[in-house]
Structure 1
């Protein structure tokens, strides 16, 4: 997000929020821990390592090296829209309405629900602030989950390669998934600890969601019939 400005009733009286338009141009979405089962219905889930902090972020893939495959001209075509996608035009801010916006985001414009009416913020602004606060807390819970999995050495690089019809290859680097062999080799104490934290169930869903890679390939081929693509996972260590 760039170009953030404070949501100002005096400047943005005509601005509206179209939730169905959210997500255009976004290929990846950060997830909160509570979103795992919902997002996995459509999207491959994995972890991306922050180069600056070394921290693992839980993310959902929504594209194969291009634009968001779920965001179309007539709405978002998935069982679930990640909260970071829905709220992508907004950030929490101090003072005023309590929100900062990216006016260039596809979800903001002349269509949708009003953010300002009669010179004051609508109830939608309060709802968006509350949703952002919940998302911040849920993302923190996802960081804690990723940290626990990493401490038990349950994350491995997820090495994806895309092969286009013209034989060009493109690798998606920097992603991590669940190391199922390491998961199966955990000792009893580790299993009990992770189970009590509900981390084992989360790890199982994340591991299974890798098969949604085929869903992304199908969506890509439908949207780009002249650029059919094969998407596959390289075995660990190759």
Structure 2
């Protein structure tokens, strides 16, 4: 990965492809999300907590498939869902921080960077309609670049708040592991481990003072949204069965 600070003197003619597809690294079976986007995402995806086997830390994710490399929402160059996780939308941009790690990111304390090795990044010779310029001929940021700058800033802020949310879940023993059994077309059965959800019994047993704090911080709503989203596992099964039938 070669990250470069977005600069009109360097990227005046740089374009970014806005299409979707495996060639852009979107053939993944889960993607990190932040708590603030759960309200939009739960209409499409099952969202849960996954544990990093190396660090032991939990992360919030949307499930896109059942096996590595399988994105059931991806069909050619189309992402077949009304809501797309911000982590996917922001590609190939990232935010470079200015200041301490635990400080809240804003556009005054961040720099927009771009992965120049991404297949999405093209030069002036790219002439397809899905290429988005970062700057106009005068070096003024385009509306597309302004939108991406706001998106990565929002995402960076959301990552910090989501880490605090997960820390609170761990502190109050609100995370539990589940095993999901699935039967696909043809009778093929699979069991999936490593998924973590909200322990609703422990959530309902929280002291009133803690519940008030959870409500004030938006954690209570996020817990309920997470729990509700798991009903979309059935949607994933339907998508998988449709794929199996087509093959």
* Fold in common (TM above 0.5): yes
Other-structure match for 1:40? 42
Which residue number corresponds to residue 80 of structure 1? 83
Q: Report how many residues are paired.
A: 223
Q: TM-score normalized by structure 2?
A: 0.75
Q: Where does residue 113 of structure 2 map in the other structure?
A: 99
SS in 2 for 1:13: coil
State the match for 2:65 in structure 1.
Answer: 63
- Change beyond 3 A, Cα 1:52–1:39: same
Output the CA distance in 1 between the equivalents of 2:18 and 2:39: 25
Q: In 2, are the aligned partners of 1:42 and 1:78 still within 8 Å (CA)?
A: yes
1:38 is displaced (CA, Å) by: 0.7
Task: State the secondary structure of the residue aligned to 1:140.
Answer: helix
Q: Which residue of 2 aligns with 1:231?
A: none
Q: Which residue among 199, 211, 227 is the counterpart of 1:179?
A: 199
Q: Which residue of 2 aligns with 1:202?
A: 222
Q: Distance in 2 between matches of 1:209 and 1:94?
A: 32
Gaps of 5+ in 1: 228-238
Cα deviation for residue 220 of structure 1 reads 1.7
TM-score normalized by structure 1? Answer: 0.78
Q: Secondary structure at the match of 2:87?
A: helix
1:11/1:190 CA distance change after superposition, 3 Å: closer
- SS of 2:49's equivalent in the other structure is strand
Structure 1 residues 93 and 138: CA distance shift in structure 2, 3 A: closer
